[in-house]
Amino acid sequence: MISHRQNPATPWLLNVLFIIISASSILLGYLYYKSQKARLVKAKNLELSAIADLKVSQIVQWRTERLGDAVLIGENTPFIKLLYEYLHSDDNSGLRPDIRSSLKSVTRNTGYKNVQLIDQTGMVREYFPDRDTLMGDDLRKMFPDLLKLETGILTDLHRNDKIKYIHLELVVPLINPWRKDTSVFGLLAIRIDPGEILYPLVQTWPVPGKTTESLLVRKEGNEILYLSGLRFRKNSELELTKSLSEEKLTEAMAVRGLEETADGVDYNGASVLAAMKKVPGSPWYLVAKVHQSEVFTTLNDQMAMIVIIIILFILTFGLLLGILEWNENARFYREKYETELDHQALRKHFDYILKYANDIIFLTDRNMVIIEANDRAFEAYQRERNELIGMSLSKIRAPGAVKELEHESRILDEKGYATYETVHIRKDGTLMPLEISARKVEIEGIKYFQSICRDITERKFAEETLKESEERFRKIFEESPISIAMTGKDLAIIRANSAFCKMLGYREEELKSVTIRSFTHPDYIAGDDVSLLRLVAEEIPVYHTENQYIRKDQSVIWGSATLSIIRNNNDEVQYFLVMIEDISLRKKAEYELIAAKVKAEESDRLKTAFLHNVSHEIRTPMNAIIGFSALLNEPDTTEEERHQFIDIIFQSGNQLLSIINDIVDIANIESGQVKLKIKEINLNASLRSLNEQFSYKEKSDLISINLDTGLPDERATITTDSTKLIQILSNLINNATKFTKEGRIDFGYALKDGFLEFFVTDTGIGIPPEHHEKIFERFFQVDNVISRKFGGTGLGLSICKAYIELLGGRIWVSSNTGKGTDFRFTLPYSHPEKSKEKPVEKRTPLL
């Protein structure tokens, strides 16, 4: 990977580690030193303390021995007596040899340098071995007190002009032992040289040491006086003094009463560790000390070694770190160098691309003046290099596009980049549409604009062509009389033309949010889905179907739909094109045709049945007429038989006539030839006559025929075609008698809502509900077999219906199979005043 860092990375972690480790090792070293030092000081202090104790006990012992000597001398009665006599006799020369030999024996003790016999007056009366006949100054000062002594004392160390060496005296008071007088009669002053025992006792050290030393001091006014000889300052006994207030001075500390170990300085100012003790029974203080430098020599040597090791360690670590960093730096610069090489290669490559790029590339300054351009630019603008460089961009813009330049450059300056289209002009004046991608660049702190311009002449042309073609398509789409819609893959409508919208009753906006399925009749959706899958799978090129669609007003229309796929460049389904033609009218016509066909077939079937019936119905009475007419001529026919035959012939003729009438009536109705003859009648009278006729005709006792007139006679006068009305009622009553074995037949009328409602009810076989409508159709009979049994042509009810409607009413039936039938029909109730005009003629409409 190419590094983009300007400087090598500092190994912060290692540096921090280095600092931590270095600081830790220094701290550890220091702590070790401190602990070792404390340990050493403690050990040395113990040693010094022990030595000081030893010294003090030895000095005390030495003093005790000396004072013991004084006691021994004082208790040596012959010797005391001898001295007394010598001092109190006038002629004592004889005693003198004894005295001297006694004094000599006293001095035989080690360290006793000289002895003087002093009388009560302070005169030196005898001496050994020196010839000093005078008391020392120190003793003289003390003399009166000495005469009061009861036991021997030791004076302090001193020297004077006469006795140059340092000494001290053991003063023994001489008291006469056998006399009651205990007064001191003389003194023995034994001069002791400390150099012989005391000083060596003080100065000797039990273990070898270069700076170890013990010494004696005493307080002298505000000063300290050094009593014993000093190791590092010769001849300073009783000579050297130091101020008592020197704080760090160990001797001063001792005199100030400190009896322990401490560190401080000695008389030479050297740092020492010292143990200080007072010598009991004397004004002396003992200081045992050693130079700190000696105590810490080994430790310091050790520490020096440790310091060297730490320094070496730190140096080594630092060196390693340095090498590592150096290595890292070297690697960084090597990589940087390699990257730079790569960059150079890239730059060259980039320069090459710029030079030979297919797009025009400009570099302009802030004022939009061209300062660099590639070869493609010179070629495109048909200008020489020296011509184009230095030219303002506005000069190569088409006149119409110049004014936008300022706005575009401002946006570029603000945003740092801009993409726009404009038109440039070549030297020969031809225009060149361009797509420009510009960017603000900074080179060595100066801002420039770099523009990459692509010639889009061809694209523009293609766009124009596409636009035109799209416009054409849009027009075709929009203005097509066929309903067309474009949907997405999910069948959601994207666009729909006005024919489409009109067909379904929606506005285009309403359709845009829905799919084709939402207005397809549910019965067809599943079938559509299957076919769509086949279409997408390219099993079928287009999908054609005839579906029902639900309009916005919920009315259902029929549509002939054609669905095709619009695919994108990758051959993926992008849109569906749906074309629907409204075929509702055609479908209606088809249905009507089918219905008509069915009806025609039915009618054909009925007519066949009718012909069957008619031939049967005609043939039956005809046979009767012919047969019985022939019998009339038989000679052996009786009169009674002839009457009977004539009656049969008459009835058959009537039956035939009735059939022919029916056929003629229906033929008239069908051809619109029925004429109404409206006149005034009394309804009650007509109905009563009809009742009589049927009651007369109905021979069976099992059936009763009953009339119910709804109006009183005076109000029962109406205007109507009485023949047709009677024919209607006759037909209905006829049927009732035909299909009723027993029970009753009621007929009559009632006035209801301005209409006369007639009824004919029976208790006969009834009519199944599915035939209630059909019985009014021509030639229909509920069951041909049964009807044939009862006779009839299937025309009666259709004639009734046609006549009733012609008279301005309607007919209906209610019936229960096996229980009976109730036929009802209405006629307008017209008052005779109104209908007194001449009879009207009305023709039936064609059925």
Min. distance of Cβ 594 from ligand ADP in angstroms?
Answer: 26
Per DSSP, the three-state class of 342 is helix
Question: Is 712 or 818 the residue whose CB approaches ligand ADP more closely?
Answer: 818
**Rounded to the nearest whole angstrom, what is the least distance from the CB of residue 609 to ligand ADP in the complex?**
10
Question: Residues for the chain: how many in total?
Answer: 847
CB of 821 to ligand ADP, least distance (A): 4
Residue number, 358 or 704, with CB nearest to ligand ADP? 704
Residues 373, 356: Cα–Cα separation, whole Å: 11
From 6-14, 249-257, 460-468, 780-788, give the range in contact with ligand ADP by CB under 6 A: 780-788
The least CB distance from residue 517 to ligand ADP, in Å, is 49
- Strands of 417-425's sheet in order across: 370-373, 360-364, 446-455, 431-443, 417-425
Contact 586, 574 (CB under 8 A): no
Of 797, 802, 807, 827, the residue at the interface with ligand ADP (CB under 6 A) is 797
Among 793, 826, 830, 844, binds ligand ADP (CB under 6 A): 793
Q: Rounded to the nearest whole angstrom, what is the least distance from the CB of residue 666 to ligand ADP in the complex?
A: 10
Question: Is residue 763 a contact point for ligand ADP (CB under 6 A)?
Answer: no
Pick 333 or 812: Cβ nearer ligand ADP: 812
Q: Which is nearer to ligand ADP, 228 or 735 (CB)?
A: 735
Helices (H) then strands (E): counts for the chain: 21, 28
3-state secondary structure of 390: coil
Region binding ligand ADP by CB under 6 A among candidate stretches 128-136, 627-635, 679-687, 733-741: 733-741
Cα 764 from Cα 823, distance rounded (Å): 12
Residue 807 tokens, joined = 């008279």
- Sign (positive or negative) of CA dihedral 630, 634, 637, 642: positive
Residues in Cβ contact with 743 at an 8 Å cutoff, skipping those fewer than 6 apart = 702, 703, 762, 763, 764, 820
> In this chain, which stretch among 11-19, 108-116, 125-133, 793-801 interacts with ligand ADP, using CB under 6 A?
793-801
CA distance 668 to 847: 10
Among 782, 802, 806, 811, binds ligand ADP (CB under 6 A): 782
| Residue from 139, 230, 678, 795 in contact with ligand ADP (CB under 6 A) | 795
Determine the interface stretch with ligand ADP among 321-329, 374-382, 386-394, 729-737 (rule: CB under 6 A).
729-737
Cβ-proximal residues to 631 (8 Å cutoff; 6+ apart), any chain:
637, 641, 645
**CB closer to ligand ADP out of 226 and 749:** 749
Shortest reach from residue 785's CB to ligand ADP, in Å: 10
Q: Look at residues 767, 761, 680, 665 and name the one whose alpha carbon lies nearest to residue 717.
A: 680
In the complex with ligand ADP, the residue whose CB is nearer, 128 or 610, is: 610
What pairing do the DSSP bridges indicate for beta strands 493-496 and 543-550?
A: unpaired
Q: Site for ligand ADP (CB under 6 A): which residue of 781, 826, 830, 835?
A: 781
Give min distance, CB of 708 to ligand ADP, in A.
17
Quickly tell me which residue has 């285009």 as its tokens: 508
End-to-end Cα distance, the chain:
101
Interacting residue with ligand ADP among 765, 804, 806, 811 (CB under 6 A): 765
Minimum CB separation of residue 734 from ligand ADP in Å reads 7
- For position 547 contacting ligand ADP by CB under 6 A, the verdict is no
Indicate the angle between helix axes 77-88 and 96-107, nearest 10 degrees: 130
796, 802, 806, 811: which one contacts ligand ADP (CB under 6 A)?
796
Shortest Cβ 601–ligand ADP spacing (Å)? 20
C-alpha dist (Å) from residue 481 to 566, 579, 587, 693: 21, 10, 19, 70
Reduced to 3 states, what is the DSSP secondary structure of residue 671? helix
251 binding ligand ADP? (CB under 6 A): no
Cα–Cα distance measured from residue 450 to residue 441, given in angstroms and rounded to the nearest whole number: 7
User: Are the CB atoms for 80 and 74 separated by under 8 Å?
Assistant: yes
The span of 186-194, 433-441, 500-508, 794-802 binding ligand ADP (CB under 6 A) equals: 794-802
Find the shortest distance in angstroms from Cβ 644 to ligand ADP.
Answer: 27
Question: Please, which residue, 433 or 820, has the CB nearer to ligand ADP?
Answer: 820
Among 736, 802, 804, 827, the residue binding ligand ADP under the rule CB under 6 A is 736
CB of 812 to ligand ADP, least distance (A): 13
- As measured in angstroms, the least distance from the Cβ of 793 to ligand ADP is 5
Task: Mark 677-690 as b/e (b = at least 16 C-beta within 10 Å).
Answer: ebbebbbbebbeeb
SS (H, E, C) 485-496: EEECCCCEEEEE
Residue 686 CB, nearest distance to ligand ADP (Å)? 21
User: Does residue 762 interact with ligand ADP by CB under 6 A?
Assistant: yes
Q: CB under 6 A: which stretch of 192-200, 385-393, 555-563, 792-800 binds ligand ADP?
A: 792-800
Residue closer to ligand ADP (CB basis): 787 or 835: 787
Residue with token string 């290669």: 345
Please, what's the b/e burial string for 136-153 (b: 16 or more CB within 10 A of its CB; e: otherwise)? bebbeebbeebbebeebb
Query: What binding mask, one character per residue, do residues 806-825 give for ligand ADP by CB under 6 A, x or -?
Result: ---------------x----
Residues 6+ apart with CB under 8 A from 6: none
Number of residues engaging ligand ADP in binding (CB under 6 A): 20
Given a contact cutoff of 8 angstroms between Cβ atoms, the answer to whether 544 and 589 are in contact is no
Write the binding mask 47 to 86 for ligand ADP: x where contact by CB under 6 A, - elsewhere. ----------------------------------------
Contacts of ligand ADP in 179-198 (CB under 6 A): none
> Is 764 a binder of ligand ADP (CB under 6 A)?
yes
Q: Which is nearer to ligand ADP, 257 or 818 (CB)?
A: 818
Look at phi and psi of residue 217 and say left if phi exceeds 0, alpha if psi is from -120 to 50, else beta.
beta
- What separation in angstroms does the CA of 626 have from each of 88, 622, 649, 658? 236, 6, 8, 18
Interface ranges with ligand ADP (CB under 6 A): 731, 735-736, 739, 762, 764-765, 767, 775, 781-782, 787, 792-798, 821
